[in-house]
A and B are shown apart, each in its own frame.
Chain A
Amino acid sequence: MIPENLKYMESHEWTRQEGDIATIGISDYAQSEIQDIVYVELPEVGTELTQKTEFGVIESVKAAFDLYAPVSGEVIAVNESLLDAPEQVNESPYDDGWMLKIRMTDSAELDALLDADSYQAHIEAEHA
């Protein structure tokens, strides 16, 4: 499941753009590979993020996975419900499992991300 209206990173984070606000999460493919998510560590509101740098961590039963910011900007909202119910990332990666909202400093950064077709091709290449 790869929604057409989102942009993706090769490290499997997705971004939904609404004006200069970007909502961020991880893809359905990523959650199905990671499985059994038990902990999500996210930055605080107000944190300044830089594109392609680490912003948090997801822990499954087996391992920890770093999360990378698809765009630069200030964190203006954090999905606090993931602290108590991290399994939402498994159950609803594109909706209830969203992680951050960022006020983008430069929406042109979105052009460097993958569209749905390119992301699909990236997954297939990774699987091959």
Chain B
Amino acid sequence: MKRTPLYQVHKTLNAKFTEFGGWEMPLQYSSIVKEHLAVRSTIGLFDLSHMGEIDVRGQGANELVQKLSTNDVGRLTDGRVLYTLLCNETGGIVDDILIYRYTDNHYMLVVNASNIEKDLGWVQTHNDRGTEVSDESEDKTLIALQGPKSIDILEPLVSDQSLSEIGYFRFVLGKVAGIPTIISRTGYTGEVGFELYVSAKNAEHLWNALYPGVIAADGEPVGLGARDTLRLEAGLRLYGIDMDDNTNPFEAGLGRFVKSKKRQFIGRDALLAEKKRGIARQMVGFQMLDRAVARAGYAVYQADKHIGKVTSGAPSPILKCSIGFASIISQAIPDEKIDVEIRGKLHPAKIVKVPFISTGT
């Protein structure tokens, strides 16, 4: 298993570890609930070094990322970030990623840990104009600060920048604690926050610079356990769980990130044909009506008819009940009442709007 440059730091903090996407990552430090609530009320500090970064630059860079993206990269200006899907020729989702635009011929693709090699291969396969594509995952460390106190905690460490001027899904190249950093107003929690990309050799220095402020603000270091419950409450999908190569964006409820007017991209024709034919499945958010916990893979019923399965499910520390995503048949269902089969018994749930909670990014 791969270890992040901050592995020893996590050891010292007595983290419990878990395997994720080939990495040995902190699962939790204190408790998942405590860490989750810290992010919602104050601030949390995350090591997300397992995420991959692919640099795309030079001749044809713009055309290459456009060709690969379901979302319209042409809408980006310098210093902006775009959420997009990469689809294969049949419309299946290769990955869901962020694209950072430095300039119109220089981009950074931030990809899921388990997909780094697949994505790199995918980008290279379609790189027919000799664009420079390099995997920077080894050298780039990603540390995130998420929560309503993020600006207060980070501001004193940033010298030449006013953080409140960095809008949501924008980034700047600045310095944090003297270290060259890509300061990105993004995150996977639904809260105000920043994702900080630094060279791996500076990872520990940056973590140690941020940590005291986080603790002083009653914040917590946060592991992947709470990262999962935070993203779920915020209504955000997880690649490999809620979608994969055999799921198209419409089935994953991500149709709004498919911009097919006046542009070509890989998978476009298949997706348009699919849409014309009618999408077989839909993704819905649901909330359990008793205390039972719905988890991935559990069967979903309506009026005793099997209509699909849970893709993500967990107890929500904020709502104090179990929530999740379910992939169910698309045809109109009579009402929001469904049942989830848990250990052979049906438990009542209802379909609800996502995000499950309102947050402020």
Contacts and interface: CB of A to CB of B under 8 A. Distances in A.
Decide whether A and B are members of one complex.
Answer: yes
- Top 4 nearest A-B pairs by Cβ distance? A38-B315, A59-B293, A36-B33, A61-B32
Interface residues of B, number: 17
B292 A36 contact: no
Interface of A: 35-36, 38-39, 41, 57, 59-62, 64, 83-84, 86
B189 interface: no
A107 B154 CA distance: 62
A36 B33 CA distance: 7
B32 A35 contact: yes
Contacts, number: 39
Interface string B306-317: 000000001101
B209 to A, nearest CB: 30
B291 A61 contact: no
A38 B32 contact: no
A57 B343 contact: yes
B295 interface: yes
A41 to B, nearest CB: 7
- Of B32, B36, B293, B295, most buried by chain A (CB within 10 Å of CB) is B293
Interface in B293-313: 293, 295
Contact of A36 (B27, B31, B295, B322): B31
A62 B225 contact: yes
A41 B314 CA distance: 16
B150 interface: no
Nearest to B27: A62
A2 to B, nearest CB: 21
A38 B314 CA distance: 10
Given A35-B33, A38-B315, A59-B293, 13 more contacts: A35-B28, A35-B32, A36-B32, A38-B291, A39-B292, A39-B293, A59-B292, A59-B315, A61-B36, A61-B225, A61-B315, A62-B225, A84-B291
A35 B36 CA distance: 14
30 contacts: A35-B31, A35-B32, A36-B31, A36-B32, A36-B33, A38-B291, A38-B293, A38-B322, A39-B291, A39-B292, A39-B293, A41-B292, A41-B343, A57-B343, A59-B293, A61-B32, A61-B36, A61-B225, A61-B229, A61-B314, A61-B315, A62-B27, A62-B32, A62-B225, A62-B314, A64-B293, A64-B295, A83-B291, A84-B291, A86-B291
